[in-house]
Amino acid sequence: MIIDRPVQPPLIMNTRKTLLVALAAAPLMLAAQDRFATRNGHIRFFSSTPMENIEADNNKVTSVLDATTGAIEFAALIKAFQFEKALMQEHFNENYMDSNTFPKATFKGKVTGFGSAELKKPGTYPVQVAGDLTIHGVTRPHTGTATITVDAAGGLKAVSEFEVKPEDHRIEIPAVVREKIAQQLKVSVDLTYTRM
Amino acid sequence: MNKKTLLVILILALLGGGYFAWHQYSRKVDSAADLPSTAQLSATELLEAFMVDEAAATTRFVGTTEQVIQVSGTIRSLEPVGKELTNVVLEADNELAAVVCEFANADLPAPWRTGTQVTLKGICTGFLLDVVLVRCVPVE
C-alpha cells in the first residue's frame, strides 16, 4: 500500500528562507522582538587520538537568535571548513562528508534559560540548547549547554561545546584510518551576534 | 642484474615512495594565488547566479573539487574575523545578500577601504545568505 505523505522541503531551504525573511523584515520588527544575527560565526571541530590530531575551522557560519522566543538556527558550508593539511581537507570533503551531495550542516532549535529579561542585564548566562542537528543529510536531535554573554552595548556572544559521533550521521570511516579519528569529535561553536 | 644493484634499486624505490607519501601527507592547501581562475565575473553576477539556480551555480562555481573564481566589485564593508582573518564583503545589488570573501590579514591590501573597487580571486564554497569565498587573494 502506498501512503501519500506531504513532501517536506529540505531543512536547509527552510533555514535559509527563515533567515532571509528574518533579515528582510528586520527594519519592520519591533525592538522588543530582540533578534540577533551573524554571518561570521565560528565552528571548530577537533579529533584527538594518540596517532594524530585533526582540526578544522569554519568562520562563515550564519546564525539567527531570537531572544524573545529562544529560537536559534545556524548553517555552515561544509567546504568552508579549512584544514592545515590539504590531504585531510580532501578526505574530509570527498570520503567522509560527501560535501558535493550534502554541502551544508544546519541546526534548528531553541535556547532555554535566556530571554528578554536577561538581555537587559549585561552578564554571562548558562543556557540549555535543544533542537535538530543535520550533518551529512542525517538529522538527529541534539541537546547541550551553552553560555550567552551580554555585553554593555547590548551585543551577544554565544559559545558552546559538544561532541558528535560520526556514525550517528552515517559518516563511514574506513577501518584502515579508524584509529586516527576519534570516536567522538569535539565541536566548539562561537557566535558573536549583532542586533538586527 | 646482481644482488647489489637490485638492493640499491630497492632502497631508492623505498626512499622515493616514502618521500612521496610524506610529501602528500604534509602538503598544505593551495593558495588561490597559485591556481588558475575557472570563471571571471562581477559580484552581482555571481550572487544572481546562486539566487536564480543554486544547484546549477554550485556545479559551475563550487564544483566537485576546489575551484578558484575571480570576482570584481565594490567593497561594502571590511569585517575582522578573529585576529588573523578579515571578511571583504562585496556589494552585489542586493540589500540582504552579498559576496563574502575571506582574506588572511597578510594577503589583504592595506589601501582597501569601504567603497574601493577591487578584483580578487578565491575558492568558492557555496551559498548561505551570501556567496562565500575563502582563501582569497587580490588580483592586481
What is the pLDDT at residue A113?
A: 94
User: What is chain B's length?
Assistant: 140
Question: Could you tell me which of B135, B125, B140, B107 has the C-alpha nearest to residue B50?
Answer: B125
What is the pLDDT at residue A89?
A: 93
Half-sphere exposure of residue A112, counting CA atoms within 13 Å on the CB side?
A: 6
> What percent of chain A lies above the pLDDT cut of 90?
64
| Over residues A79-88, mean pLDDT | 92
Q: Which three cell numbers stand for residue A146?
A: 551553552
Is the model more confident about A161 or about A11?
A: A161
Distance from CA of A26 to the nearest CA of B (A): 10
pLDDT at A52 over 90: no
Question: Could you tell me which of B140, B73, B66 has the C-alpha nearest to residue A89?
Answer: B66
**Domain A35-195 superfamily per CATH:** Lipid/polyisoprenoid-binding, YceI-like (2.40.128.110)
What is the pLDDT at residue A121?
A: 92
Residues 6+ apart with CB under 8 A from A145: A126, A127, A128, A129, A160
* pTM of the predicted model as reported, rounded to 2 decimal places: 0.82
What is the pLDDT at residue B100?
A: 96
Nearest to B134 among A23, A24, A82 (CB): A82
Tell me how far apart the alpha carbons of residues A39 and A20 are, in angstroms, rounded to a whole number: 12
pLDDT at A27 over 50: no
Q: Is B54 on the interface with A (CB under 8 A)?
A: no
Sign of the alpha-carbon dihedral angle for B119, B121, B124, B129: negative
B58 DSSP 8-state letter:
I
pLDDT in tens, chain B (140 residues): 788 899 999 999 999 988 888 887 778 888 889 899 999 999 999 999 999 999 999 999 999 888 999 999 999 999 998 889 999 999 999 998 999 999 999 999 999 999 999 999 999 999 999 999 999 999 98
- Among A14-23, A83-92, A109-118, B81-90, which is the least confidently predicted range? A14-23
Q: Among residues 1-20 of chain A, which lie with CB inside 8 Å of chain B?
A: 16, 19-20
Q: Under an 8 A CB cutoff, do B126 and A80 touch?
A: yes
- Between CA A9 and CA A106, with CA A69 as vertex, the angle to 5 degrees is 35
pLDDT at A5 over 80: no
**Domain ranges, ordered by start, for chain A:** 1-32, 35-195
What is the pLDDT at residue B65?
A: 87
- Among A23-32, A142-151, B68-77, B83-92, which is the least confidently predicted range? A23-32
Residues in chain A with CB shorter than 8 Å from the CB of B58 are 103
Residue A195 vs residues A28, A29, A69, A154, B132: alpha-carbon distances, Å? 13, 11, 15, 8, 22
What average pLDDT does chain A have? 85
Tell me how far apart the alpha carbons of residues A107 and A71 are, in angstroms, rounded to a whole number: 11
Q: Which three cell numbers stand for residue B37?
A: 581562475
Residues in chain A with CB shorter than 8 Å from the CB of B24 are 87
Residues 6+ apart with CB under 8 A from B117: B72, B73, B74
**Phi, psi of A23, rounded to the nearest 5 degrees:** -70, -40
Distance from CA of A38 to the nearest CA of B (A): 10
Name the band, by pLDDT with cuts 50, 70 and 90, for residue A13. Answer: very low
A142: left (phi over 0), alpha (psi -120 to 50) or beta: beta
ipTM of this predicted structure: 0.82
